Structure 1
């Protein structure tokens, strides 16, 4: 009942020319009211006679442009209607146009929106292709189902990449632990001579692990963000496909476009290659120290420092090799 009254009121304050709610309403002596811009444009087009008279677009009664008078009462009603349309759930629960109060029976393909017959005649949709809802419902249900299938495949890809990231993290941790043990075993025999060098090498390994794991963590976070975007789109589509034709078609083009421009970024992996650690002849140097020669023990760089943006490359030392 309240909705019917609201529709009747909207009809009273709708401009007969543009079919929108009155903007700066102007009334003629015949009693009909129009938007100021609409009646001014009408006067420019339809001026007749020598005295500049025009005809009312509704009843064809002649009027003088100077006889136009602002209608404050209609302006107040329009303002209240616009405020009422901003609140509510009551209007949204009914399959009626929020702007005109008419039933939503048409679909505009250009804008991807469900509209009423008054919307179709408005300037916003006048030159657009419109169809009855039942004519396009099946087509868009199939399109949205295809979009949903694509999103589901993308989500499956993300889940696979998550597993790859987890396995990569574990592999890197295990390999780093093996590297640590190899370094510790090599230096344990001559710890008194090369203790400081051992610590240096361990720190390099720790940095390598930290840099790689940090990069993998960033990739993991990025995957989580991509996953959330895809899940949100999936949830939206599932809700649309389970709902009414109006809910499914409203902004359907937009969500399909969002899927088309959604490009998944595959996380970067770090190759795990065998690295060669070449230490100097520590035994010979140790014996030299014991004989009092105190020959310096020189260790070159074993690994370069690793950053998330670089691939690990082996740096080869001279002298005795130890394969890690």
Structure 2
């Protein structure tokens, strides 16, 4: 395999000059640069990747910011991003923002300091100035802000939530409780709107007592169900994610409420465990790996200087399993 010494010999220069010509071509004469390039081509030498990246001011690294690394929802999205990144010669750095804007900014600063080339953010907990636009090559995935000037890959949260509640109405439920996520989050605002759309199309009044907030965790689903059960009579429950649905299912079981005979439950996401619960969880499936791949391909276009889609909506699917049935008479 040809080495840098072979290139230096063919070009009639020192190995230091060869390195300089590849890493900082502006520091050598045009004549010397051309001699080195011809020698590289003639010898078949493959320049060191690090040297090539330094010359181009590239790190060949992208950063993925997740709000909570313990949340299994993000695993398949990260896998999809990594597959595309590796295919394009990029490494992936995974950063857990721990639901804090301050930590997200730390990872964003890696791009500003040229330690990374771009960012895919799976969290909306970002510095306020980012919402107005940024010079950082960046893509939002899953989370978004209405009118956000940065390319976004997401689902139709409003339409997907409406589909879930439509199903419960179709099988005879009208008293449908709802465990939301944090309502300052745009996707939660949209999912609540989808719930309301579904009831309103049948002229069913929306009762604010039907709602309890969670934070997408298993424990918050459990606690929210316990609170909801105290003041709202329901035959069905819609949860804004599968983790909270599983927590609610545990709470219902502890209270002696049979699922689905006395309470139908619908989740959102289709996490791996959803089809292995007892009963299996009816849910809205987000194509998590596809979301990751689409977000990564969008970022690759940006890094290559190509035009990227500003708002890509990935389709979801209602998966009907055994956690739902018609209400008992």
Q: Tell me the TM-score range normalised by the shorter chain.
A: under 0.3
Which structure ranks higher in relative contact order (CA pairs < 8 Å, sequence separation ≥ 6)? 2
Which has the larger share of helix? 1
The structure richer in strand per residue is 2
| TM-score using structure 1 length | 0.22
Larger radius of gyration: 1
